[in-house]
Amino acid sequence: MDYLYLSLLVIHISSAIFGVGPVFLFNMILRRAKTADQLRYAHHIVEKLNKNANLSFGILLVTGLILGWMSPYLFRQMWYIASIVLFLISGSYAILVVEPILKRLHQIASQSTSGEVSQEYKQLFRKKQARDMLANLMAIAIILLMIIKPVF
């Protein structure tokens, strides 16, 4: 059982690294694009990373709950419960608030014919950055809860 638990924990941590890590880079990748062609390519990269991140988030949830099932005392730990609640809130926020903006940005980028990035895109990108800040803060809070495991 210890080997299985440890294996799941490694999968859980790896999924966090491969899922959460790249998400922090999305805005940096998109911000670097200066022309419409670069922007389309940047969105292509972000789209691929986003698919991997979504898969990793699913694995995170499943492995986290299995780890709790294998060690039921975790369900009595506030840091564990708070992490799950924040994860569900963060996931809902990403799906309902951030993803629609990212899809609209992708649509604008793919339809762009001029050499420059449009003002509409720039305005919407600023809106996305503001929304991402909250999502990133929730991700950091979850990571800190998992590492520090505070008692409250």
Average confidence (pLDDT) over 70-86: 96
- How many angstroms separate the CA atoms of 104 and 120, rounded? 10
Domain boundaries, the chain: 2-148
| CA 148 to chain CA centroid, nearest Å | 21
pLDDT of residue 1: 66
Which residue has better confidence, 114 or 129?
A: 129
pLDDT of residue 128: 95
Residue-wise pLDDT for 14-34, tens only, equals 999 998 889 999 999 999 998
For the cut 80, the answer to whether the pLDDT of residue 83 exceeds it is yes
- The answer to whether the CB of 53 falls within 8 A of the CB of 20 is yes
Residue-wise pLDDT for 130-148, tens only, equals 999 999 999 999 999 999 9
Residue-wise pLDDT for 95-110, tens only, equals 999 999 999 999 999 9
pLDDT of residue 152: 79
Burial 30-68, CB ≥16 within 10 A → b, else e: beebeebeebeebbeebeebbeebbebbebbbebbeebb
- How many angstroms separate the CA atoms of 8 and 132, rounded? 29
Q: Is the pTM of this model over 0.85?
A: yes
For the cut 90, the answer to whether the pLDDT of residue 116 exceeds it is no
Give the Cβ contact number of residue 29 at 10 Å. 15
For the cut 80, the answer to whether the pLDDT of residue 43 exceeds it is yes
pLDDT of residue 136: 94
